[in-house]
Structure 1
């Protein structure tokens, strides 16, 4: 089986030396990829420079990206050629469009037109006491997957923080329907620590539970096989 996996966390540049990113290590995606390889599957792993990665393997193709734009390009190319997508990457919801001093924003007569500007400096000056950073919402790539390949098995992930399990499962069910996914793995950040990774693996007719990353990987592989 040809399996496409995404892992790690994207990074969106503010200027040439600053960026916005997240704390994803890519460890779950790494374990899922390793589990798939041990079962004899062909794996393409789209990941990020700092994410944890499997050891080189004859059946592993590694693609390294930085931001959502690069992720979109590679996903659009790879999704049609795979039978399964396990989309574990922590994808940035927003990307910076402009950063400037507070005074410049206050003086702008037309904020919409003001935001059409781009930062001209290679490195934005740090002399201002306050800086205002404007962010633009990124497209939800998971929502495009079934357009690119209607027959692909889609495994998505949802991360919330400190919510009741009932809410976590309900949000996963909503994502399942919205994105035409086959399974959503629902996580609570407060329950990912000390080697434990509690998760609910939600499909349209059942909810499975796992308590470690290895259990999550094994459950996903059993489901897609």
Structure 2
């Protein structure tokens, strides 16, 4: 195997191996590494190191460094195919993806044990290309202003009750966080959620569909991109009861009226904004999405299959469509990964415009 001195000779940098070595008053190795790096790439990433990182273990210089970094971390798995396909290993990989870690997928081929399968380290040139792609993503939206909506609106019935839906807001928040990380100026108009505001994002809190429309109209004029990820209620009570409806008064009759179609109204006000809509469907997913992209004059639509239990989940199933039809389909990916895919598609389309 290659010794530390070989790495030091070839790179011109010290090869560090000891978590507790070379400490001083002004230098702690794993913190120094973390603050110095623009990215961290683990080659090869064994089942052991993937498991340790997923569990937050930081008992050596590598894992302690990874625990301290705020830059992208890329793992290049390499192991026997049975180990790679082990449900626990796959669970750890999925967990790390959800938390923003990147994976350079292993290749299919002859393994060190003599068998063939998926688990062979990806070619070095592929890993380098993947690293370049990840680093390029960091500032590719730096000149753009994004207006993003999230969460499920609440339509008040009385001071206690309201009509709402199952949206958690996770998709919209993931989009806002990713857009900000990639350099965009982001305003997030959020219906009530249990989520913490993404760092560096301006958050406007709203309750109802009408509140969201007013907030969006205020910020839409300055936006370059609108992403309507919020689940806006379709109906609201005609009359708000100022006093709580008492149970003993019998079953109340609540008449409903349509809420404003926010994305349709904003698309009618657009100058040159790029508009992305969402469609949550139980049936005829892509057909209904195609109808919405035309009816609401959208540039792109993200179709969600809600039969997969996506509400409240960290994962999702999506189809991306434009006016010509389906661009791509993705199954059981994290919402953070979906956010990156959606933003990359937006960036490509804006580049084509220019």
Larger Rg: 2
The reply to whether residue 68 of structure 1 matches residue 209 of structure 2 is yes
Give SS of 2:189's match: strand
The reply to whether residue 191 of structure 1 matches residue 308 of structure 2 is yes
CA distance in 1 between partners of 2:273 and 2:153 (Å): 23
Question: How many residue pairs align between the two structures?
Answer: 199
CA distance in 2 between partners of 1:203 and 1:53 (Å): 32
For 1:182, which of 268, 291, 299 is the aligned residue?
A: 299
For 1:31, which of 139, 159, 174 is the aligned residue?
A: 174
For 2:327, which of 207, 210, 217 is the aligned residue?
A: 207
Give SS of 2:195's match: coil
| Per-residue deviation, 1:2 | 0.2
Contact 2:149 2:172 in 1 (8 A): yes
For 2:286, which of 160, 169, 190 is the aligned residue?
A: 169
Structure 1 vs Structure 2 CA RMSD: 1.6
Contact 1:9 1:91 in 2 (8 A): yes
Give SS of 1:73's match: helix
Give the 3 Å change call, closer, same or farther, for CA 142–183 of structure 1 in structure 2.
Answer: same
Q: 2:340 aligns to what? A: 218
Q: Mind listing any 5+ residue stretches in structure 1 that lack a counterpart?
A: 99-117
Q: Mind listing any 5+ residue stretches in structure 2 that lack a counterpart?
A: 1-143, 348-354
Q: 2:27 aligns to what? A: none
| Per-residue deviation, 1:76 | 1.1
CA distance in 1 between partners of 2:235 and 2:270 (Å): 25
Q: Which runs of 4+ in 1 moved over 4 A?
A: none
Q: 1:5 aligns to what? A: 148
Matches within 5 A, 1:98-137: 98=239, 119=241, 121-137=242-258
Give the 3 Å change call, closer, same or farther, for CA 51–6 of structure 1 in structure 2.
Answer: farther
Contact 1:192 1:198 in 2 (8 A): no
| Per-residue deviation, 1:49 | 3.0
Give SS of 1:148's match: coil
| Per-residue deviation, 1:168 | 1.0
Contact 1:7 1:51 in 2 (8 A): no
| Per-residue deviation, 1:83 | 0.4
Contact 2:153 2:209 in 1 (8 A): yes
The reply to whether residue 47 of structure 1 matches residue 190 of structure 2 is yes
Structure 1 or 2: more helix by fraction: 2
| Per-residue deviation, 1:63 | 0.2
TM-score by length of 2: 0.54
CA distance in 1 between partners of 2:163 and 2:252 (Å): 15
| Per-residue deviation, 1:195 | 4.1
* CA displacement, residues 104-162 of structure 1 (integer Å, 9 cap, x when unaligned): xxxxxxxxxxxxxx64x51122213322111111121111112222311100000112x
| Per-residue deviation, 1:51 | 4.3
